[in-house]
């Protein structure tokens, strides 16, 4: 079988990372029909947008995207290409495995978590009202009239936090299905329902109902602040975590930190209209063209894509080869050495070569 996949090369170090990861995936023997597309700052001047229509048209056709890092300017310029693709294709579930591989420098060992983040609701829905505008003042006055205890200053900006039964149910079912498929034992729903009783409370209530359909999986609930402490103290007690959007964004980076950082953290965004697989770290433009950056995260994202495409055996071969190279510690990039100035560190291309050799 040949799999149609939209391959987005990204910018900064993205193209060289993708070249390495693509070779690893092709070395599995799985057949791909790559539709190579460009997005990001490198095409902004040519197309007037960092996300050309051709990219979206390709994803509509293939329903699977494999994306290298893309620069998102801070405080100015265009909004995240990642967010735009998620919204365009209603990719409501963000999946972030956080697994420690022997050889990765970390204070923690034997951590094997999957973080699920709901992608479309919560404060990240972007429903905000600017300070001082008439509609903001009207909203503040309306809130005060309905809730006398609301202490809101007139010069406030306001953001609305929508969490729905529909959005939560489809997300929860996805999480439980994924956990069951991947033979996980426990699902922990995370929120702050003791304070936000009508939004996070609704989130818990729906997750609780969905959990009844999966008696083979242990279900528990945890307040987000307590979860942060638990993860730092004893992450080995947890398995699969599911969060609303904002908490998931924060906790997914915390979990990546437990297993060595974003350099080994893959991610996927999945919905009924298709999926996108990516490294979750940035584009590191200062290292562009230096053959220096760790390709592990993007290769592991490719492993997730193989699994999604039904190529489970190839996915396991990729992961085992990555793990073997990391454990051996010889053919790894500078960031995976105990001394970052270690002269035996290899480049992006050479680490990919070592993974391919192990796989074969």
Q: How far apart are CA 112 and CA 132, in angstroms?
A: 47
- Which of 11, 38, 122, 249 is catalytic? The answer is 249
Residue 108 a catalytic site member: no
Q: How far apart are CA 135 and CA 154, in angstroms?
A: 12
Question: Do 12 and 282 touch, CB atoms closer than 8 A?
Answer: yes
Residue 249 a catalytic site member: yes
- Which of 35, 66, 122, 124 is catalytic? The answer is 124
Secondary structure letter of residue 35 according to DSSP: E
Question: Do 187 and 176 touch, CB atoms closer than 8 A?
Answer: yes
Q: What is the dihedral of CA 6, 10, 13, 19, to 10 degrees?
A: 20
Q: Measured in Å, how far apart are the chain's first and last C-alpha atoms?
A: 21
Residue 247 a catalytic site member: no
Question: Do 92 and 242 touch, CB atoms closer than 8 A?
Answer: no
Q: Looking at the DSSP assignment, which residues form a beta bridge with residue 275? A: 64, 270
Q: What is the dihedral of CA 78, 84, 88, 94, to 10 degrees?
A: -170
Contacts 24+ apart (CB under 8 A), 357-360: 358/320, 358/321, 358/324, 358/325, 359/24, 359/27, 359/28, 359/317, 359/318, 359/320, 359/321, 360/27
- Which of 225, 234, 313, 349 is catalytic? The answer is 225
Residue 124 a catalytic site member: yes
Task: Of 295, 323, 324, 318, give the one whose Cα is nearest residue 305.
Answer: 318
Cβ atoms within 10 Å, residue 36:
12
Q: How far apart are CA 360 and CA 355, in angstroms?
A: 9
- Which of 99, 192, 203, 238 is catalytic? The answer is 192
Indicate which residues carry an active-site annotation.
Answer: 124, 192, 225, 249
């Amino acid at each position: 079988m040949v799999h149609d996949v939209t391959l987005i090369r990204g910018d900064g170090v993205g193209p060289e990372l993708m070249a390495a990861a693509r070779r690893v995936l092709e070395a599995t023997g799985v057949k791909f029909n790559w539709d190579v597309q460009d997005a990001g700052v490198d095409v902004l001047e040519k197309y007037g947008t960092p996300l050309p229509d051709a990219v979206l048209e390709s994803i509509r056709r293939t329903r699977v995207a494999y994306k290298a890092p893309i620069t998102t300017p801070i405080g100015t310029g265009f909004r995240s290409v990642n967010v735009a693709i998620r919204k365009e294709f209603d990719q409501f579930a963000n999946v972030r495995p956080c697994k420690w591989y022997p050889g990765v420098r970390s204070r923690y060992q034997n951590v094997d978590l999957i973080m699920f983040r709901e992608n479309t609701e919560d404060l990240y829905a972007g429903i905000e009202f600017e300070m001082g505008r008439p509609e903001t003042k009207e909203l503040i006055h309306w809130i005060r009239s309905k809730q006398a205890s609301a202490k809101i200053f007139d010069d406030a900006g306001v953001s609305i936090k929508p969490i729905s039964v529909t959005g939560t149910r489809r997300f929860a079912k996805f999480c439980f299905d994924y956990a069951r498929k991947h033979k996980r034992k426990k699902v922990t729903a995370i929120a702050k329902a003791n304070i936000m009783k009508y939004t996070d409370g609704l989130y818990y209530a729906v997750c609780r109902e969905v959990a009844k359909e999966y008696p083979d999986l242990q279900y528990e609930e945890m307040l987000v602040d307590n979860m942060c402490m638990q993860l730092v103290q004893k992450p080995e007690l947890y398995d699969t975590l599911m969060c609303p959007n904002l908490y998931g964004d924060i906790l997914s980076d915390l979990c990546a930190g437990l297993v060595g950082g974003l350099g080994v953290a893959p991610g996927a965004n999945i919905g009924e209209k298709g999926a996108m697989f990516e490294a979750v770290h940035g584009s590191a433009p200062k290292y562009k063209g230096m053959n220096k950056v760790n390709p592990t995260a993007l290769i592991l994202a490719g492993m997730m894509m193989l699994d999604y495409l039904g190529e489970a055996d190839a996915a396991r071969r990729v992961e085992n080869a990555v793990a073997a190279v990391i454990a051996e510690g010889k053919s790894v990039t500078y960031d995976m050495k105990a001394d970052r100035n270690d002269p035996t560190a290899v480049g992006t291309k050479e680490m990919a070569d070592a993974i391919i050799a192990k796989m074969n």
